[in-house]
């Protein structure tokens, strides 16, 4: 039972298992996919290896299914529950990262050889964000209809804020680009 340091991935795994009870990696994967994974992706391989790490460190118990798929089901231990509680109560780092390839490319827009490159970038980004925004809205309406008012939905509403901002931003980029082009 070695000691490991807890990464965001660890907290996601611990948190989901604490919330939903004993889970398989596949269930974790599904839970992540349509919630936090929307803007903070955790590749499925991580959700298979991470519980193993946490089990080795005593934060989870692993139980192997006998027949069939030989699934591994993980449940949280007292030690795991405590680690989770400590994380939640601890001060949260205020940093954050927005890793957006579109934004990165825009940053180097002055190096583009054809102005059309920028146009294409803005158009594609705008469309993608608009689509995503619509998806989020739909999902939010759905949750509202179901009477859901939990923290997951609150988190989703951040997604809405973000996408609205992104749409406005890329529209603005388009606008300025056109003005500059026609001048």
Question: Contact residues for DNA (CB under 7 A)?
Answer: 4-5, 7-9, 24-27, 30, 41-46, 48-50, 52-53, 68-72
- In total, the chain counts a number of residues equal to 183
Cα 100 to Cα 9, 28, 40, 106, 125, distances in angstroms = 20, 25, 12, 10, 10
CB 77 within 8 A of CB 58: yes
Separation of alpha carbons 27 and 62, rounded Å: 15
**Looking at beta carbons only, is 117 or 138 nearer to a copy of itself?**
117
Select from a copy of itself, DNA, none the partner in contact with residue 58, using the beta carbon and a kind-dependent cut-off of 5 to 8 Å.
none
**Looking at beta carbons only, is 4 or 130 nearer to DNA?**
4
Cα 103 to Cα 58, 100, 129, 167, distances in angstroms = 41, 5, 12, 13
Shortest Cβ 28–a copy of itself spacing (Å): 14
Q: Is 23 in the site for a copy of itself (CB under 8 A)?
A: no
Shortest Cβ 136–DNA spacing (Å): 22
Per residue, the 3-state secondary structure of 117-137, as one string, reads HHHHHHHHHHHHHHHHHHHHH
Shortest Cβ 42–DNA spacing (Å): 6
Separation of alpha carbons 130 and 141, rounded Å: 16
- Name the site residues for a copy of itself (rule: CB under 8 A): 8, 11-12, 15, 18-19, 35-36, 39-41, 84-85, 87-89, 91-114, 117, 120-121, 124-125, 128, 150-152, 154-155, 157-158, 161-162, 164-166, 168-169, 172-173, 176
């Amino acid at each position: 039972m070695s000691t490991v340091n807890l990464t965001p991935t660890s907290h996601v795994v611990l948190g989901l298992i604490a919330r939903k009870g004993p889970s398989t990696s596949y269930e974790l994967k599904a839970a992540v996919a349509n919630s936090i994974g929307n803007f903070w992706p955790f590749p499925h391989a991580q959700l298979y290896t991470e519980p193993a790490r946490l089990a080795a460190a005593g934060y989870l118990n692993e139980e192997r299914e006998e027949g069939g798929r030989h699934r591994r089901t993980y449940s949280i231990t007292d030690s795991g529950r405590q680690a989770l509680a400590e994380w939640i109560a601890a001060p949260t780092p205020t940093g954050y990262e927005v890793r957006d390839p579109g934004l990165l490319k825009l940053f180097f827009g002055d190096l583009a050889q054809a102005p059309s490159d920028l146009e294409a970038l803005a158009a594609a980004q705008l469309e993608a964000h608009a689509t995503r925004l619509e998806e989020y809205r739909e999902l939010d309406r759905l949750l509202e209809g179901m009477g859901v008012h939990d923290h997951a939905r609150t988190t989703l509403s951040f997604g809405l804020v973000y996408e609205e901002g992104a749409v406005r931003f890329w529209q603005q980029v388009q606008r300025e680009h056109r003005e500059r082009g026609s001048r």
